Amino acid sequence: QVHLQESGPGLVKTSQTLSLTCTVAGGSISSVDHYWTWVRQPPGKGLEWIGYISDTGSTSYSPSLESRFTISGDTSQNQFSLKVTSVTAADTAVYYCARGHYSGHDHGPLDYWGQGTLVTVSS
């Protein structure tokens, strides 16, 4: 059974950098069959795609987001991470990591999700 667990601070000060890590158990982030994503959800709002990292370490981000977001992977720890620089109150959200499933050349559904972690940005 695949299990994803987000970790990181629950409170970040305005203008600082938010760092989150997703630890994966029961599956490898180097698997050619999967990609690894970050999704966030502001309080009371819908899901927002942030970006993903592939099995080869290549990354892609939602074009609606600024370049403040960086996703990286650590295959030795079977973890992948998200960094958000210069945070503001608008970055307050529950942050989820999730596993995506490839089908052929298609980026398929997110079949396993972490429980999510609430990050509050405050001065």
Partner 1 sequence: SNVLTQPPSVSEAPGKTARITCGGDNIGSKSVHWYQQKPGQAPVLFISYNTNRASGIPQRFSASKSGNTATLTISRVEAGDEADYYCHMWDSGADHGVFGGGTKLTVL
Q: Which is nearer to partner 1, 15 or 108 (CB)?
A: 108
> What are the residues binding partner 1 (CB under 8 A)?
37, 39, 46-49, 51-52, 60-64, 96, 100-101, 103, 106-111, 113-116
Q: Which is nearer to partner 1, 31 or 113 (CB)?
A: 113
| Structure tokens belonging to residue 87 | 């945070």
Q: Give, in degrees to the nearest 5, the angle at Cα 74 between 54 and 99.
A: 40
Q: Which is nearer to partner 1, 15 or 56 (CB)?
A: 56
Where does residue 21 rank: exposed (0-12), middle (13-18), buried (19+ CB within 10 A)?
A: middle
Provide, rounded to whole angstroms, the least separation between the CB of residue 75 and partner 1: 22
- Based on its alpha-carbon atoms, the radius of gyration of the chain, rounded to whole angstroms, reads 14
Provide, rounded to whole angstroms, the least separation between the CB of residue 28 and partner 1: 20
Q: Which is nearer to partner 1, 76 or 105 (CB)?
A: 105
Contact 41, 94 (CB under 8 A): yes
